[in-house]
Chain A
């Protein structure tokens, strides 16, 4: 099972798509190293949060990934 990536808000425009699937890697750092530089830079922003399977990641460096995980990149929100 590959990883499913989800790009929300303006990150969708940077990624060029709202979702993509990629071959499984075991860490978040490894996942980001496979991104194009513009996307890697955009998702590394201080205000961008990451969620794995719907749970917010607090320590990106320690985050491990497994087959079938859904990884969402969440830029600053704007509702209402």
Chain B
């Protein structure tokens, strides 16, 4: 089984992606999904995610392989945007299908923690007409340490 891993340069439709993923795994008793979106508020006008092509998608694929090796899954999807987004736009979607729910919850949680602070993306925010780079937070490193 191989994961569906995509780096998206344009917008995507999480409900449609989840519907397709669910339909593709009728034998799975549990499907866990997570969608991250650009948060409205704090004066944020736009968010940009940069990537580095030689590393970003290969790194996402390696992350998916690690999750597949660690939990018993029927399917795994990892979708991540790059480019400029506005509040309400989806940034990331992870979905895991498994016979038993705990594997699906854990794999989705693991993938999200690693996308946040251990994948090749750089984020900046535009507020008040000014762009500002966002550095990872200490809590992001604490989240990822849970899996070691």
Question: Which residues of A (8-53) have their CB < 8 Å from a CB of B?
Answer: 8-10, 13, 51, 53
B135 and A79 form a contact (CB under 8 A): no
By a CB distance below 8 angstroms, the chain B residues around A58 are none
Q: A13-B133, A74-B120 are in contact. Are A79 and B54 (CB under 8 A)?
A: no
Do B116 and A79 have beta carbons less than 8 Å apart?
Answer: yes
> A75 to B91, Cβ gap below 8 A?
no
Q: Is the CB of A80 within 8 A of B133?
A: no
- Determine whether the beta carbon of B91 is less than 8 Å from that of A80: yes
Asked whether B136 is an interface residue with its Cβ less than 8 Å from the other chain, the reply is: yes
Cβ of B50 and Cβ of A80 under 8 Å apart? no
Determine whether A1 belongs to the interface, using a CB cutoff of 8 Å to chain B.
no
Q: Are A78 and B122 also in contact (CB < 8 A) when A8-B52, A9-B50, A54-B55 are?
A: yes
Q: How far is the CA of A17 from the CA of B99 in the complex (A)?
A: 49
A43 to B135, CA, bound (A): 15
A76 / chain B contacts, CB cutoff of 8 Å:
135-136
- A8 and B136 contact, CB distance less than 8 A: no
**In the complex, what distance in Å separates the CA atom of A8 from the CA atom of B133?**
10
Contact among A8, A51, A80 with B115 in the assembled complex (CB-CB below 8 Å):
A80
Q: Which of B52, B55, B92 contacts A80 (CB 8 A)?
A: B92
Q: Interface code A44-80, partner B: CB below 8 Å = 1, 0 otherwise?
A: 0000000101101000000000000010101111111
Kindly report which residue of chain A lies nearest to residue B133, judged by CB atoms. Answer: A10
Residue of A nearest to B134 (CB): A78
> Which of chain A's residues have a CB closer than 8 A to the CB of B92?
79-80
Q: Are A54 and B135 in contact (CB under 8 A)?
A: no
Interface residues of B (CB under 8 A from A): 36, 49-50, 52, 54-55, 80, 91-92, 112, 115-124, 133-136, 140
Instruction: Add 5 more A-B contacts to A78-B134, A80-B92 (CB < 8 A).
Output: A13-B133, A51-B55, A72-B55, A77-B118, A79-B92
